[in-house]
Structure 1
Amino acid sequence: MKSVSFFFFSILFCVMVWSQKDHYTVVAEQGDGIFSLLRKQGLDPVEHYVEFVELNKDDLRKGSQLQLGMSYKVPYSLDSFKKTGVRVDMVDGTETSLFEKELSKMSLKSNRLKNAVYYLLIENHVQENSGFLQQMTKKLAADLMVQGAQIYVLDMMNSITAQEDTVDIGTDKLGQCVDAVNKRYLKHNKKYQRVLLLRLKNAVDDSKMNLAFSHYQNSGDGQRFADNLQGVFKKHGINKRGEETEGSSIFEDKSTLFLAKNLLPTVTLLTLDNNSESINGEQLHIRVDNKRFAQLLGNGILKDYADLEIED
């Protein structure tokens, strides 16, 4: 009898916990309608409209109108932009949404990348004008999210510095990045997953910068990803510098090799630098514009994914 009672209360407890977790509440603000409120929470209003109305049917005026200052239940959803675009703290593993105010202007354009996960690693070696890399990464993340992708951004500014030029110095810090990415890789183990390491080697000014793509020499997937990205920049008339090669170069520095050997998903490196002599292999020359830069990267990522689908 005791075992039956225990089983019953266990089921009841699980139901209560689940019911508490299926939604959260927000307060309707001036000008809010159901569509705008859902968008501000990162949700597709078309997909979640009926569920929202059902959750809040007793608090809606005329069946569909929100009341100013009233609290409304918003369904938790894994497809919320608050969930599909997050910044990961490499120390404690916590996730925070990449976007807040911008959510009201974001809407799903397609599901082309619904089975794709991208890890954008920011490695910034300078403090001046560091906003360029942050802004460009957020723009790229948004462009991929509205195509259905899951995006994780890991800021390595405090983990790798220009002075840490040997693997011994940075192993522990790099290990935090590896742990954070690999845990999420296992969570999404049936999906297409790629790591793009964005490395800024010196300060950004208003002129042009040199960029180069590279991959791990033992990774065919990494080479294809790098070559697809590089190909899009070439196709759009980005000037070339240095000796032209058949494709992207290979990793040479110790920190990137460490990541390539320990991360589960494929890694590709994009290096940005004002000094053309510090980049090996073929270089492209691009004017500094984070919106245009993010657009070209996004196009390359879409091309790489489309090529994979064709092969499959």
Structure 2
Amino acid sequence: MKYIFIIYTSILFIFLPIHGFTQETGTPGKGEGILQFLKRFERTKPEHYTQFMELNKSKLDKNNGLRLGVKYTLPPMNREGNEPLFGEKLAKYTIESDELKGACFYLVSGHGGPDPGAIGVLQGHQLHEDEYAYDIMLRLARTLMSKGAKVHIIIQDAADGIRDDKFLATGDRETCMGDPIPLNQVQRLKQRCDKINTLFRKDKEAYRRAIFIHLDSRSESKQIDVFFYHYEGSAKGKHLANTLQDVFNKKYDKHQPNRGFSGTVNTRDLYVIEQTLPVAVFLELGNIQNSRDQQRFLLNDNRQALANWICEGLTQDFRHYSK
């Protein structure tokens, strides 16, 4: 391993290869506060300050000030990633932090290819489960990747990308990472489990989780909340499902305080969470037949909110196991 030292009058930078990125350090000038110090290194966003405090909390003085002669770790500059599956407009994304560095996710949207999954109807438009689950899954993938996570997108559609439309156009182009999706249900489920397990055996991250995203189909009058399922013998799966439920509970308390949240955590005999090697959770995001639940999927802001909340739960679970 090579170390490169670049010395200026009062600044020392050290660049070390850390998980494919560089970690930069510097020493403050006389009388320089944290904001001035960060500005000198072009770290001017609020998240840069937050990251700096977390990285250097043991090096600051009792007033959270900088000490002369101390070498401080700088938060990473925003880096760019590129994922064509997100669509032309959103393919490029900013890696805003390394908050999820060391985490690996296998994201699976339900059904796809020849199987549209559950179908709802609104204003003459068919609502296909696979299209809405796929859009939410892509949004989740992009959010996780912006926090430095490794993400495997198992079900893929090269044409769709992230869409803001209310009524998502339907199609059968989805593949399992390039392979045609079988019509037979058992073969279809086995295919995605085999793909996940092959990747799992190659990945080296200590924290690896599989997330399955679905929409339910019940009677039109049945409004339901998000349900979380885990494998009966998995303590870590149960912890993740409970963490996700807790996040959703708090979000509903904040945004719809008079409504309450009734989504539950349960075990369920599901092929995909039994047959995958990584810890897995299965999410049912609502009833595609119910007019109120439909608003959870039809509005692009709501689809993004679902992705953000799931990401928050995954982040909390990652922190728990990274202590």
Which residue, 286, 300, 304 being the options, matches 2:313?
A: 300
Amino acid at match of 2:311: G
User: Normalising to structure 1: TM-score of the pair?
Assistant: 0.55
- SS of equivalent residue, structure 1 residue 117: strand
- How far apart, CA to CA, are the structure 1 residues paired with 2:132 and 2:217? 11
Q: Does 1:274 align with 2:272?
A: no
The alpha-carbon distance between structure 1 residues 159 and 139, as it changes in their structure 2 partners (threshold 3 A), is closer
The alpha-carbon distance between structure 1 residues 149 and 129, as it changes in their structure 2 partners (threshold 3 A), is same
How far is the alpha carbon of 1:217 from its aligned partner? Answer: 0.7
Which residue, 172, 179, 183 being the options, matches 2:187?
A: 172
Correspondence list, 1:28-47, <5 A: none
How far is the alpha carbon of 1:201 from its aligned partner? Answer: 2.5
Q: Does 1:129 align with 2:117?
A: no
Which residue, 103, 111, 119 being the options, matches 2:98?
A: 111
- How far apart, CA to CA, are the structure 2 residues paired with 1:268 and 1:107? 27
How far is the alpha carbon of 1:286 from its aligned partner? Answer: 8.4
Structure showing the higher helix proportion among its residues: 1
Gaps of 5+ in 2: 1-19, 24-78, 112-116, 120-125, 157-171, 177-183, 254-258
266-275 or 106-115: bigger deviation: 266-275
- Cα deviation per residue 1:41-90 (whole Å; 9 max; x = unaligned)? xx99x99xxxxxxxxxxxxxxxxxxxxxxxxxxxxxxx9734xx5xxxxx
How far is the alpha carbon of 1:259 from its aligned partner? Answer: 2.0
How far is the alpha carbon of 1:196 from its aligned partner? Answer: 0.8
- How far apart, CA to CA, are the structure 2 residues paired with 1:172 and 1:249? 25
The alpha-carbon distance between structure 1 residues 270 and 194, as it changes in their structure 2 partners (threshold 3 A), is same
The alpha-carbon distance between structure 1 residues 241 and 294, as it changes in their structure 2 partners (threshold 3 A), is closer
Amino acid at match of 1:262: Q
How far is the alpha carbon of 1:263 from its aligned partner? Answer: 1.1
- How far apart, CA to CA, are the structure 2 residues paired with 1:103 and 1:159? 19
- How far apart, CA to CA, are the structure 2 residues paired with 1:230 and 1:171? 29
Name the counterpart of 1:145.
145
- SS of equivalent residue, structure 1 residue 129: strand
The alpha-carbon distance between structure 1 residues 107 and 191, as it changes in their structure 2 partners (threshold 3 A), is same
How far is the alpha carbon of 1:112 from its aligned partner? Answer: 1.3
Paired residues, number: 200
Contact 1:122 1:133 survives alignment (8 Å): yes
The alpha-carbon distance between structure 1 residues 155 and 201, as it changes in their structure 2 partners (threshold 3 A), is farther
Q: Does 1:290 align with 2:303?
A: yes
Identity of aligned residues (%): 22
The alpha-carbon distance between structure 1 residues 187 and 98, as it changes in their structure 2 partners (threshold 3 A), is farther
- How far apart, CA to CA, are the structure 2 residues paired with 1:152 and 1:297? 16
- How far apart, CA to CA, are the structure 2 residues paired with 1:97 and 1:276? 28
Correspondence list, 1:1-312, <5 A: 81-82=81-82, 97-104=85-92, 106-124=93-111, 125-126=117-118, 128-130=126-128, 131-155=131-155, 170-202=185-217, 210-237=225-252, 239-240=259-260, 248-252=265-269, 257-274=270-287, 287-288=296-297, 289-310=302-323
